[in-house]
Amino acid sequence: MEATMIEPQADVETVRDRILIADDQPDVLNALRLLLKGQGYETETVASPSELLRAMDERDFDLLLMDLNYARDTTSGHEGLDLLNQLKQKDDAPPIVVMTGWATVGLAVAAMQYGVADFVEKPWTNARLLEILGKQITLGRERRAARRRAAQDVADARAIQQRLLPKRIPQLPGYEIAGAWQPAQSVGGDYYDVLAFDEATLGLCIADVSGKGMPAALLMSNLQAAVQGLASPSLSPNALCERLNSLVYHNTGSDRFITFFYAQLDGRAGELQYANAGHNAPILVRRDGSHQRFEAGGSVLGVFPDQDFSAGTAALAPGDRVVLFTDGVTEVSNAEGDEFGEGRLLRLLVENRTLGAESLQERILDEVGEFSRGNWHDDATLLVLSVREDSA
């Protein structure tokens, strides 16, 4: 087969840097447009704050060169500062260089506090202006590339985390188990799993890896591999925690740790054996509204090389509900800065203790989401176990 040769295209259009110029003086706009066009820049001009904001919403620019004084307020620069305050709220605003004929040190400092990259006083020197613009466009391009890399890291970490969560949750006769993961904008290190050992025994675990982003996602993947490789009906929950602690300690840095909770459910005996490694203590709510916390265990995984863990046991009865959760559920805040808290979570569980696992899980996330207006600062993860009323 003959190779196909692709001829290079002779007329490839060079992408030019685009600058938005904002000034209410036509002669200034014309002078800047001619100067920058001669240097190979693509320019767009606007004469008012409203036109500037509309242009920023409609198109992308590599730099904004703007005056601080407009027709309504020609001396103080306050109108320009108000405009900078609005631009500061934009997630991906380009570098901003400001110009004013009434420059003072105080005004320059105030502009810098709004995120302005540099400052030019009118009348400008062409060479100095071009030097500033070239420098800031280069820095802006580097920042955008860094943001894209960070966004890709978040996407990669999110994909890792999504793949590690169970696609289907095993069930036992007489029980219902439901899990949920509410991701935040940044990637946390939440993890949960349900392991099917035999027709009457399950392993349930939930964990929260310290930190965020790719490092947390990778450490979480290592934890999942270790749990699935070590967990078995013959290994007690406290012994599993001791082995995991040793692995995490010897394979991670000193600034990393994991909170972890693991339990074995004996479906026939109606018994839950568990160990808690520094995790938010799961809550058992009885049919009569009383409750119990699962606190027995030890410290977080990965801080000390050798650590002993104690074991706890709970007898389950028809109508009981067990809720495992991460701190993304209880530490979410409302607009006033108040946390949802474990007290609210407990009251919610008691009030809705007759719901099945799936319905209770949905009710918790709905309540927490409404409390925070959907502003999830951290991943929120739930694992809910309900004992059916007819399982006696």
The reported pLDDT for the residue numbered 3 is 37
**35 Cβ contact list (under 8 Å, min separation 6):** 126, 129, 130
Using a cut of 0.85, tell me whether the model's pTM lies above it: no
Q: How far is CA 181 from CA 31, 51, 158, 278, 294, in A?
A: 57, 43, 12, 20, 21
Q: What is the DSSP letter of 390?
A: G
The reported pLDDT for the residue numbered 76 is 56
The reported pLDDT for the residue numbered 138 is 92
CA separation for the pair 357, 363 (Å, rounded): 10
The reported pLDDT for the residue numbered 2 is 38
**88 Cβ contact list (under 8 Å, min separation 6):** 114, 115
The reported pLDDT for the residue numbered 221 is 83
Place of tokens 């925070």: 372
CA separation for the pair 272, 312 (Å, rounded): 8
**Share of residues in the chain with pLDDT > 70 (%):** 90
CA separation for the pair 241, 300 (Å, rounded): 9
What's domain 18-154's superfamily in CATH?
Response regulator (3.40.50.2300)
Specify whether domain 169-391 bears CATH 3.40.50.10860.
no
Torsion of CA 336, 342, 348, 353, to 10 degrees: 170
What is the rounded radius of gyration, in angstroms, for the C-alpha atoms of the chain?
30
The reported pLDDT for the residue numbered 103 is 54
The reported pLDDT for the residue numbered 5 is 35
- Which portions of the chain are predicted below pLDDT 50? 1-13
The segment(s) of the chain belonging to CATH 3.40.50.2300 are 18-154
The reported pLDDT for the residue numbered 84 is 86
Find, among 285, 288, 232, 231, the residue nearest to 260 by Cα. 231
The segment(s) of the chain belonging to CATH 3.60.40.10 are 169-391
Question: What does residue 228 show for φ and ψ, rounded to 5 degrees?
Answer: -70, -25
CA separation for the pair 289, 298 (Å, rounded): 28
